[in-house]
Amino acid sequence: MRVLGVDPGLTRCGIGAVDGRPGRPPSLVHADVIRTPAGAGIAARLLALEEEIDTWLAEYRPDAVAVERVFSQHNVRTVMGTAQAGAVAIVCAARRGLPVALHTPSEVKAAVTGSGRADKAQVTTMVMRLLRLTDPPRPADTADALALAICHLWRGGAQNRIAAAGSLMERRLAAARGETPDQLAAARRERDQRLRGAR
């Protein structure tokens, strides 16, 4: 399985492709950073990201895309740019029909280092070890993108199988009750709204 990891950012967007499967050492396909000029307008920067990510998807043909889930930071402006860059990656993958997974920084750190509180240096060291690299990926955004891809290789498959099994079970139950696919979709929306209201 090939996973494209995306560490979203407007100025520097880490991107890296990794091959592998659970229980096996992953291997590096390619990694880099997409840069956009800080002085450019937001539309131009997002368009540049979209073009570069789409080029990566066409060239490296991943089976899935893993994007860092944006979490609340103190700088709202940084969060907005990061979220927008992440959304561009998600849209590019969706346009090609690729599954997209969002992983939190803690989840990625735990998958790669064994600790959700690992620092950037520890993540970089483990990425080097896991991918058998002699030099650390630079800049740090590249190492983070590779860590996302590794996390998804090791954890995403199980998550996808659980989600698929749940979806299959839901469809079978709906068919047994005589519900149409539209009725099933409406019931899912209603359930999701109730869950959001409970939080």
Catalytic residues: 7, 68, 141
**What is the 8-class DSSP label of residue 39?**
T
Give the whole-angstrom CA distance, residue 168 versus residue 165.
Answer: 5
Q: How many CB atoms lie within 10 A of CB 13?
A: 28
Whether the link from the prior residue into 139 is cis, omega within 30° of 0, is: yes
CA 89 to chain CA centroid, Å, is 8
Number of H helices, E strands in the chain: 7, 5
Q: Are strands 12-19 and 100-103 parallel, antiparallel or unpaired?
A: unpaired
Residue type, 94: A
**Quick check: 14 and 145 in contact, CB under 8 A?**
yes
SS3 at position 133: coil
d(C-alpha 50, C-alpha 144), whole Å? 19
